[in-house]
Structure 1
């Protein structure tokens, strides 16, 4: 359910390359023309564009975009000392992430979430716990290739406890895929999850980790439905009562990504824009990673929950070519 609009009569890729090359020439970059092309090409077309640009001009298109979509110069007086620093343009960040291959993009986002002091756990949880086993397989490969580091080892060193165990189990990508559901197993899993949580004093976290990380999305969906049928409450509420912290957040995201991912991502988008100032990194991450996946569903859930179009909120919270680019990705004007 992509929101990307591709022209019905697509020009040859060489023509797109020439148009981009022309947009880069002269004083300043014609950013509107760049958006007109890049925001209206699907993943395979963008990959073909990158390869053709290198062949025609002997230059990596992403590196050229990084140079052309430069940051702003900020001058500030701090402690009577003049500091000058280049701010990376949020528009540049959005375009570069959009142009990456999906697995590499997720690897970059995961690495950014773990590097430096502290961990951006919400980003880490969102990517690892909402991707399919196949996607996680390619993310692990891309992470190793790009950073020459093991994703497992970085998760191991940056997290702890049951939260770490759950992330490592999910990142392994060993869960089955496909629509097949065993209703007897779903019923057994529901009962086991109850006994591990609400049905006892304290919580058996290992049972939650094992069930959540070894069942397909379809099988988990059936288990959650069985839980509600048997115990008259959503498993999400049980998790909220029985667990806490990052472990709780990860389990609840898995439930939401299995039952109704559109509603989850709609809330993340709304939260990124509801306060004074915009959480641009979150807004960019969700728009760029979901535009070709399920953005139509996210938009529908956004409107249903907040009674306003997603495009309207983005338009009121962003500006310039950054706004134009995001609106193009979500199917706005």
Structure 2
């Protein structure tokens, strides 16, 4: 469930484009006006505003926003302006090619549904001129690479149907491939994690716990490491409850000294229109603090105002 609050009768994209142009004019930018418009428009409305702006002013709205805003606010607003699949493409591309730290790419790929990934792939190619699989191939390595490639290319069922027989068998196979064995048969983990639906994998996890007295997550932590471990854990946690997974990611980003703003921006911006209401509920339940309050205490200024607008009322 989305936390985005859009006016009951939003202004036309043309009016929004005019008001944004006015906010940019003169000495300094009226940042509050920019936030008040863009943080309260859905993906379709934002796309129409960009079209109108280009038509009326022969100018690219994203470039203008980039020149008018700065710092963390600029990062957050520019990411927000993309449609969901285009945004995922940008995050993955930057993670693989610019930052060369694969946490964000792993999170996005392993937390998306098969239909989201199928929709993302042609957009990735049209934006960056390279196939997603080729980019994964040339930038990642080892079992992490094998799992990501399998995950983006294997068709998986998305429904709630479960075969208990297959789940029980998979749990036994994973135990034999991991904890029962000296060393780990990573190929088996890759096959089961990339081929099973989330509902099916959840059932595997349940059988694993019943048969061996601890969670499949614990087994993954014991048997794997690094980016490969991160990918497997993301898949299993999103199979269980995506909102719970993202609440944990947000908490980790704000825990201790300093804030991981890149993660904070990525999760809030990408989940606002999907399931942020559920993430907020999970955050409150698990950490006894409202996500709104946590973000408020970790951020400041217009950057804070923008993120809190996306999160909706406390």
TM class by shorter-chain length? Answer: over 0.9
Deviation at 1:139, TM superposition (A): 2.2
- Is the contact between residue 137 and residue 173 of structure 1 (CA under 8 Å) also seen in structure 2? no
- Is the contact between residue 193 and residue 207 of structure 1 (CA under 8 Å) also seen in structure 2? yes
Counterpart Cα distance in 2 of 1:304 and 1:181: 28
Deviation at 1:40, TM superposition (A): 0.8
Counterpart Cα distance in 2 of 1:183 and 1:58: 59
The residue number in structure 2 matching 1:10 is 10
Counterpart Cα distance in 2 of 1:303 and 1:64: 37
Q: Secondary structure at the residue paired with 1:115? A: helix
- Compare relative contact order (CA 8 Å, sep 6+) and give the higher one, 1 or 2: 2
Q: Which of 42, 67, 75 is residue 93 of structure 1 equivalent to?
A: 75
Deviation at 1:315, TM superposition (A): 1.0
The residue number in structure 1 matching 2:220 is 239
Deviation at 1:250, TM superposition (A): 1.1
**Distance 1:173-1:3 versus aligned 2 partners, 3 A rule:** farther
Q: Secondary structure at the residue paired with 2:18? A: helix
Counterpart Cα distance in 2 of 1:229 and 1:44: 46
Structure showing the higher helix proportion among its residues: 2
Deviation at 1:160, TM superposition (A): 1.4
With the length of structure 2 as denominator, give the TM-score of the two structures.
0.94
Q: Which of 139, 145, 148 is residue 158 of structure 1 equivalent to?
A: 139
The residue number in structure 2 matching 1:83 is none
The residue number in structure 2 matching 1:188 is 169
The residue number in structure 2 matching 1:82 is none
More deviation, 37-46/267-276: 267-276
The residue number in structure 1 matching 2:32 is 32
Deviation at 1:173, TM superposition (A): 4.9
- Is the contact between residue 2 and residue 293 of structure 1 (CA under 8 Å) also seen in structure 2? yes
Counterpart Cα distance in 2 of 1:37 and 1:183: 49
With the length of structure 1 as denominator, give the TM-score of the two structures.
0.89
The residue number in structure 2 matching 1:41 is 41
The residue number in structure 1 matching 2:67 is 67
User: 1:175-210, CA deviations, whole angstroms, 9 ceiling, x for partnerless residues?
Assistant: 232222222222222222122112333221111101
- 2:234 corresponds to 1:250: no
Deviation at 1:131, TM superposition (A): 0.9
Q: Secondary structure at the residue paired with 2:80? A: helix
Identify unmatched segments of 5+ residues in structure 1.
Answer: 72-88
User: 1:195-246, CA deviations, whole angstroms, 9 ceiling, x for partnerless residues?
Assistant: 2112333221111101110111122122222222232321101111122222
- 2:77 corresponds to 1:111: no
- Is the contact between residue 154 and residue 195 of structure 2 (CA under 8 Å) also seen in structure 1? no
Q: Secondary structure at the residue paired with 2:180? A: coil
The residue number in structure 1 matching 2:108 is 127
Counterpart Cα distance in 1 of 2:129 and 2:30: 36
The residue number in structure 2 matching 1:22 is 22
More deviation, 89-98/243-252: 243-252
Q: Which of 268, 280, 284 is residue 303 of structure 1 equivalent to?
A: 284
RMSD: 1.6
Identify unmatched segments of 5+ residues in structure 2.
Answer: none
Counterpart Cα distance in 2 of 1:39 and 1:161: 40
The residue number in structure 2 matching 1:75 is none
User: 1:285-307, CA deviations, whole angstroms, 9 ceiling, x for partnerless residues?
Assistant: 11101111111111112112222
- Is the contact between residue 227 and residue 235 of structure 1 (CA under 8 Å) also seen in structure 2? yes
Q: Secondary structure at the residue paired with 1:149? A: coil
- 2:247 corresponds to 1:266: yes
- 2:304 corresponds to 1:316: no
- 2:67 corresponds to 1:58: no
